[in-house]
Amino acid sequence: KEKQQTGWSQIDDVIAETETTIKKGEKTLIITLTKKQSEELAQFLTDKGFRAKFMHSDTKTMERTEILKGLRSDEFDVLIGVNLLREGLDLPEVSLVAILDADREGFLRSEVSLIQTMGRAARNLGGRVILYADVITGSMQRAITECERRRKMQLAYNKKHKITPRSISKEIREFGA
């Protein structure tokens, strides 16, 4: 979607989208470019009344586990991070992945990185991704095209095999359990 409102920022929009997501009882991942941005945004959202936390490479392994468990068990609604929130995380409660500054080319906004991050929304049937950008970069376009291609293949497979999609269900376990 495109918002061309004067004075309307990606932060204003992510706040509005997060409010909508929380009203549905679902969670939001917000992806920033730097650790400082993730910390500052978590504090800003907390000051606005959101239940938000950050996680990045300075977060200790055990603390990461507790943070992810807290998100899944409804201790908070919004998790902000840099690149730890890419692949390998199954968070079915997350229905919104918001990627800030998606048009800032580089390692964290490469085609592969964007695809991996966008995949976090695929665990939820109503999952969606918002790429915040002023322009559509080559990496963004390729990532969007690839995700659309994969979605078409999955829909065709589901139709052929009479599969009704649903969100994954995953038990919340203690670390090491």
Which pLDDT score, from 0 to 100, does residue 47 have?
Answer: 98
Token code pair at residue 140: 């963004």
Residue 23 pLDDT: 97
Position 15 scores a pLDDT of 97
Q: Is the dihedral of CA 165, 97, 17, 45 positive or negative?
A: positive
Sheet of 52-55, strands arranged across:
52-55, 78-81, 27-31, 94-99, 128-131
In a domain, 104, yes or no: yes
In a domain, 61, yes or no: yes
pLDDT of residue 177: 34
pLDDT at 61: 87
Distances (CA, A) of 154 to 23, 30, 90, 118, 140: 29, 26, 18, 16, 21
Residues 20-40 pLDDT 10s: 999 999 999 999 999 999 999
Residue 76 lies in a domain: yes
- Reported for 153-158, long-range contacts at CB under 8 A and 24+ positions apart, including other chains, are none
Q: Which pLDDT does position 1 carry in this prediction?
A: 46
**pLDDT of res. 85:** 59
Rounded-to-integer distance, Cα 131 and Cα 29, Å: 12
- Domain containing 87: what range? 10-161
Residue 148 within a domain: yes
Is 168 a domain residue? no
- The mean of the pLDDT values for the chain is 86
The CATH number of the domain holding residue 18 is 3.40.50.300
> Cα(172)–Cα(109) distance, rounded to whole angstroms?
30
Query: From the DSSP assignment, how many helices (H) and strands (E) are in the chain?
Result: 5, 5
Could you tell me if 85 and 54 are in contact, meaning their C-beta atoms sit under 8 angstroms apart? no
Please give the Cα distance from 57 to 51 (Å, whole number): 21
* Domain count within the chain: 1
167: in domain: no
What residues in the chain have per-residue pLDDT under 70? 1-7, 84-88, 166-170, 172-177
Largest CA distance in the chain: 50
